[in-house]
């Protein structure tokens, strides 16, 4: 069923006078309780009473239904990314900073299509075959460091090493430099939420990417950074700043979603031991269970779009220039898609792959195939070696409007 009709009426109208959404919701995007607590009760109410909710303090529409998030994501001509993709970008006068080129997340076609096409062959299922054994080797090395019966930080020992080391190797980062990438990855997320100290440290990552990319032009290799350095998505070689932005974007795309799906998946299996037992008893379920884990965790909380023309969503008129925030966390638990058990983790669920955990449309996660492979291998190795593991303290979550992240996860493993 169509979620909304596209009008693209360029008439200048103040559509905000027509707002008629029900409910008085305690929705404060900067409040720690919202992002560090449990928002799902509020999301249920929003989906039921006001699936299109106007948040007046920051002046954006908040979409919580799967059909609406899907439809907006599939229509970049009406809802663009180039004017901001983070929840507060509308308060920054668009998503960019003067003099700095956009990341691939902040591009629309045709630019986005050209940049994505440049590196997409590295992330196809067929291309992943050659790295599968290396992923399993890294996963086993991480699990080798776990001592049974002792409290360990699952994030530090398991969640972080696998995706960081894999994307670093794909980029062609020397082994001695790969440890830096974990710290830089953390800084990237903090910088996205306005942490100015982290912004300063990210400058070191930019300089690193630019320097190594320029080296690839004189000495090409069979790696992802060489493709970026020697490609011409705009009919010319990328300049230094464009090289830095593209390289940093690839690091984030190849790391954060997987890292936090691993952590969130471990929490889900500890909170639902009967589901963990099903995977231990029948490891062949793990591949399909990965989709349910990504649905359940929703590693990316939200992205945003800007209406390029006057349009409608659910009969509510949206004005050209209105900011629209897409809640993947809510959409992935929409009862209309997943039924009365939408809030439950079910590793045998059919249809879990309809989730929006990797996005949809032109901005579908470039590294989704890699993420699925890493998650499958990690949970195969983890559950084979440690069929029992329990929470051993308080989970410390990342304060972020973008990433559903876990900073520390104390766990005790049993053999």
How confident is the model over 200-211, as pLDDT tens digits? 788 888 899 999
Higher-confidence residue of 199 and 361: namely: 361
Looking at residue 176, its pLDDT comes to 82
Q: What is the mean pLDDT of the chain?
A: 87
How confident is the model over 28-53, as pLDDT tens digits? 655 555 566 788 988 999 999 999 99
CB 291 within 8 A of CB 355: yes
Q: Is 382 among the domain residues?
A: yes
**pLDDT value at 314 more than 80:** yes
Residues 6 or more apart from 4 whose CB is under 8 A from it? 68, 71, 311, 312, 313, 314, 315
Residues 6 or more apart from 33 whose CB is under 8 A from it? none
385 CA to centre of own chain: 28
How confident is the model over 357-397, as pLDDT tens digits? 999 999 999 889 999 999 999 999 999 999 999 999 999 99
Helix (H) or strand (E) holding 260: helix 256-271
Q: How confident is the model at residue 221 (pLDDT cuts 50, 70, 90)?
A: very high
Q: Is 44 among the domain residues?
A: no
Instruction: Identify the CATH number of the domain in which residue 247 sits.
Output: 1.10.630.10
Looking at residue 220, its pLDDT comes to 96
pTM of the complete model: 0.89
Residue range 92-106: mean pLDDT, rounded: 68
Q: Is 85 among the domain residues?
A: yes
Question: What is the b/e burial string over 84-98, where b = at least 16 CB atoms within 10 angstroms of the residue's CB?
Answer: bbbbbbbeeeebbee
What is the crossing angle of helices 256-271 and 240-253, to 10°? 20
Looking at residue 30, its pLDDT comes to 53
| Domain count for the chain | 1
Q: Is 173 among the domain residues?
A: yes
Which domain covers residue 111, as residue numbers?
55-93+104-414
Looking at residue 17, its pLDDT comes to 34
Q: Is 348 among the domain residues?
A: yes
Q: Is 274 among the domain residues?
A: yes
Q: Is 209 among the domain residues?
A: yes
How confident is the model over 316-329, as pLDDT tens digits? 999 999 999 999 99
């Amino acid at each position: 069923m169509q979620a909304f009709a596209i009008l693209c009426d360029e008439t200048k109208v103040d559509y905000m006078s027509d707002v008629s959404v029900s409910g008085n919701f305690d929705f404060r995007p900067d409040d720690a309780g919202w992002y560090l607590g449990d928002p799902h009760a509020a999301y249920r109410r929003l989906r039921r009473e006001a699936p299109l909710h106007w948040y007046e303090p920051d002046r954006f529409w908040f979409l919580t239904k799967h059909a609406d998030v899907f439809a907006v994501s599939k229509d970049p001509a009406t809802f663009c990314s180039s004017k901001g993709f983070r929840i507060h970008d509308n308060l920054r006068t668009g998503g960019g900073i003067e003099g700095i080129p956009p990341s691939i997340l902040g591009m629309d076609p045709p630019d986005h299509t050209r940049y994505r096409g440049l590196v997409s062959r590295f992330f196809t299922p067929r291309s992943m075959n050659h790295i599968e054994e290396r992923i399993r080797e890294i996963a086993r090395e991480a699990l080798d460091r776990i001592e049974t019966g002792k409290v360990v930080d699952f994030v530090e020992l398991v969640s972080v090493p696998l995706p960081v080391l894999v994307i670093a190797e794909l980029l062609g980062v020397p082994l001695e430099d790969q440890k830096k990438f974990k710290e830089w990855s953390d800084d990237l997320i903090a910088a996205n939420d306005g942490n100015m100290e982290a912004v300063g440290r990210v400058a070191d990552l930019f300089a690193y990417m630019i320097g190594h990319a320029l080296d690839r032009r004189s000495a090409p290799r069979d790696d992802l950074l060489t493709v970026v350095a020697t490609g011409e998505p705009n009919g010319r070689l990328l300049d230094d700043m464009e090289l830095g932005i593209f390289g940093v974007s690839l690091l984030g795309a190849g790391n954060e979603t997987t890292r936090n799906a691993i952590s969130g998946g471990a929490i889900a299996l500890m909170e639902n031991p009967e589901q963990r037992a099903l995977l231990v008893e029948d490891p062949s379920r793990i591949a399909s269970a990965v989709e349910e884990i990504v649905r359940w965790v929703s590693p990316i909380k939200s992205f945003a779009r800007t209406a390029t023309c006057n349009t409608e969503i659910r009969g509510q008129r949206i004005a050209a220039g209105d900011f629209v925030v897409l809640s993947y966390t809510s959409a992935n638990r929409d009862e209309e898609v997943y039924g009365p058990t939408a809030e439950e983790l079910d590793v045998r669920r059919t249809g879990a792959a309809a989730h929006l955990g990797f996005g949809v449309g032109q901005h579908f996660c470039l590294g989704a195939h890699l993420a699925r492979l890493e998650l499958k291998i990690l949970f195969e190795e983890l559950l084979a070696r440690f069929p029992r593991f329990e929470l051993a303290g308080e989970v410390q979550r990342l304060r972020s409007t973008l990433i559903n992240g876990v900073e520390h996860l104390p766990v005790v493993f049993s053999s």
